[in-house]
Every structure is written in C-alpha cells, then in structure tokens.
C-alpha cells in the first residue's frame, strides 16, 4: 500500500495525539503539524474519503484499521531511526528531524536490516 508522504505524516500525527489526549480534533492536528486550518480540513476530508480515518458528529478523529496500520509503521520507523541516529552521535533534535525525513523513503528491507543490526548490537 503506497500513500503520499504527507498522508503518512497526518496519520502519524493523529496516532501520536491520540496517545496524549482523550479525543483528537482537527485543530489538534493543525497545531501539531503547524499548518493552516483550511489545509488540514481539506487533507483530513481526503483521508476520510480514502478510508484512513473516521470523524464523528463531534469532530473527533479516529484512525481506521488501515490508517492505524500505516500510522504505526511510520511511527515505529520514526522512533527507531531517531534512536539509531542518536547512537551514532547525532543530537536528539537533529536525529528526530532527520528520522522524519528518512522514514518515508527507506524500503522495508533496508529499515528491517537497520533495526535488526542495531537491536542485535547493543541495548536498544
């Protein structure tokens, strides 16, 4: 399943936000991604229409099973890559910024090889 990088970022943001609050609303996504309300509104509508998220009558956002699978995959990549970069000596802020850029472009094969190498080589 291939979706745009920006869609992955939205889904990851909703997953992250759902772990920090009881309900996630579009305004939470606006603030988290530092984007405009109109842009987020249009994008969330597209994600809903494509089956990645649900929005109830109160405007609360929840990920569908498909959306959750993508969000978890991207979130794991983000966390693992940031840890790898920090183990290599990169400062935390840069590591997370670079992980965000890299997480979308690595093949599953390369990501799994990196993850396995670093998990086997030390306390990860």
pLDDT at 123 exceeding the cut of 80: no
How far is 15 from 68, CA to CA, in rounded Å? 7
Q: What is the pLDDT of residue 119?
A: 83
pLDDT at 95 exceeding the cut of 70: yes
CATH 1.10.10.10 fits 1-124, yes or no: yes
Residue-range domain boundaries for the chain: 1-124
Residues 17/29, Cβ–Cβ less than 8 Å: yes
Which stretch of DSSP H or E encloses residue 61?
Answer: strand 61-63
How far is 29 from 112, CA to CA, in rounded Å? 29
- The answer for residues whose C-beta is within 8 angstroms of residue 54's C-beta and 6 or more apart is 48, 61, 62, 63, 64
Q: What is the pLDDT of residue 39?
A: 93
pLDDT tens digits, one per residue of 54-90: 999 999 999 999 999 999 999 999 999 999 999 999 9
pLDDT at 1 exceeding the cut of 80: no
CA 56 to chain centre: 22
């Amino acid at each position: 399943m291939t979706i745009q990088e920006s869609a992955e970022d939205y889904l990851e943001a909703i997953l992250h936000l759902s772990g920090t609050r009881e309900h996630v609303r579009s305004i939470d996504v606006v603030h988290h991604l530092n984007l405009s309300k109109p842009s987020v509104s249009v994008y969330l509508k597209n994600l809903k229409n494509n089956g990645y998220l649900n929005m109830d009558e109160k405007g609360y956002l929840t990920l569908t099973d498909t959306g959750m699978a993508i969000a978890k995959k991207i979130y794991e990549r983000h966390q693992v890559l940031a840890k790898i970069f920090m183990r290599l000596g990169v400062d935390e802020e840069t590591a997370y910024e670079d992980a965000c850029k890299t997480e979308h472009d690595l093949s599953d094969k390369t990501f799994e090889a990196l993850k396995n190498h670093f998990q086997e080589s030390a306390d990860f």
